[in-house]
Amino acid sequence: MIIPFQEKQREQFYRLLDKVFDSSYWSEGEMTRVFEDKFGEYVGVESRAVVNGGAGLLAILDYIDVKGHDVIVPANTFWATAQAVKKTGGRIIYADSNRSDLCLSFEDIKRKVTSDTRAVIVVHIGGHIAFEIEKISEYCHQNNIYLIEDCAHVHGASWNGKKGGNFGFAGSYSFYATKTLPIGEGGMVVSGDKEFLSWLEKYRNYGKYVIDGKVCYPVKNGFNYRMSEFSAALGIVQLEHLSEILDWKRSLAAKYDAIFERKVVLPEGMISGYYKYIVFDYPRLREVTGQVFGINDLGCRIEGLDLHLENAEWIVAHHQCPPMYYGWEYADKSIDELRDILFK
């Protein structure tokens, strides 16, 4: 059994904490900048740290000013995605997902788009990139619609070499305690748009900016969405450790591949970060983790809407997730032993 945050990571973290204390900057200092640079290099897009993944979504939606406009959101996602649209004043338009990847359906996006659609949010559910992301990206580009990627699950995944956050205007990663790269609470906004990133640096700090020693507030709607230096230090350590986490998950996934026939089947060129391992139509497994997602997580359900999104409803009723969290005590068992643990 593996201890998720091992001795060598702890020592590295303590050394970085000493650096934070020595610097006297407990926020807005060197650690945050280093974490941003390293994460940006890893993902292949520039990055800015925020306090959590939901705040990252708020920032993107506020910047593109969705207030009063339609934003297409998958029905099958955690409530955070839709709630961010609601909080920034957008009109949530729920769309259906595909049974193959659990992600937003391109066909349903086209059905739901109107002249007032400002943005589409694709959620890379479960740890792989949405299978239709390239088609969706091209369509959004051609129709002047902002594509936002909710990257809360997609650490370490790539599609023909491109990681989450490279397909749209901007993406938001979460480092919540259960995520593949956990730091307790935290998020990272990634984008190739320099103007947006510069705006975000102010937005996450109440809109404040200091020019020639003078304080001004050039950005509206800003709030405190900063990441502390302590969290950033932990992020640096976890990012360095990420490849070990991913190897561990992939080796468990390879065993599950031998056990489960009915599952999300990754297309050629897709590498999953395995936030979850998703199987369909099995009797209730003896060991499971949370679904992506359960009926009570769905925004349309939370809002009390009577929508019939056939595939989202099917996904909720037909999938389960055998354990895939880093450190699961039975992960090093053999395939036969795992089969017994899950089914007997």
Ligand X SMILES: Cc1ncc(COP(=O)(O)O)c(C=O)c1O
Residue 84: both structure tokens together: 């961010």
Considering beta carbons, is residue 174 or 291 the nearer one to ligand X? 174
Least separation, in Å, of the C-beta of 124 and ligand X?
8
Whole-Å CA distances, 62 to 20, 40, 52, 224, 226: 32, 22, 16, 14, 16
Q: How far is the CB of 78 from ligand X (least distance, A)?
A: 4
Stretch that binds ligand X, among 47-55, 227-235, 253-261, 277-285 (CB under 6 A): 47-55
User: Based on CB atoms, which residue is closest to ligand X, 51 or 266?
Assistant: 51
Choosing from 16, 32, 49, 53, the residue that interacts with ligand X (CB under 6 A) is 53
Residues 112-131 that bind ligand X (CB under 6 A): 123
- What single letter denotes the amino acid at residue 22? D
Instruction: Determine contact, residues 89/62, Cβ cutoff 8 Å.
Output: no
Give the binding range for ligand X (CB under 6 A) out of 74-82, 197-205, 258-266, 300-308: 74-82
- Minimum gap (Å) between residue 126 Cβ and ligand X: 10
Contact range with ligand X by CB under 6 A, out of 49-57, 134-142, 242-250, 305-313: 49-57
Q: Which burial class, exposed, middle or buried, applies to 192 when counting CB atoms under 10 A from its CB (0-12, 13-18, 19+)?
A: middle
The DSSP 8-state label assigned to residue 252 in this structure reads H
Cβ(146)–Cβ(294) below 8 Å: no
CA dihedral 230, 231, 232, 235 (to 10 degrees): 130
> Which DSSP string do the residues of 129-149 spell out, in sequence order?
--TTHHHHHHHHHHTT-EEEE
Ranges within 171-190 binding ligand X (CB under 6 A) = 174, 176, 187
Residue closer to ligand X, measured from CB, 78 or 146: 78
**61 lies in the binding site for ligand X (CB under 6 A):** no
User: How far apart are alpha carbons 174 and 230 in whole angstroms?
Assistant: 16
Query: Whole-number minimum distance, CB 163 to ligand X, in Å?
Result: 16
74 binds ligand X (CB under 6 A): no
CB atoms within 10 A of CB 38: 16
Least distance in angstroms from the C-beta of 53 to ligand X: 3
Residues that bind ligand X (CB under 6 A): 52-54, 77-78, 80-81, 123, 150, 152-153, 174, 176, 187
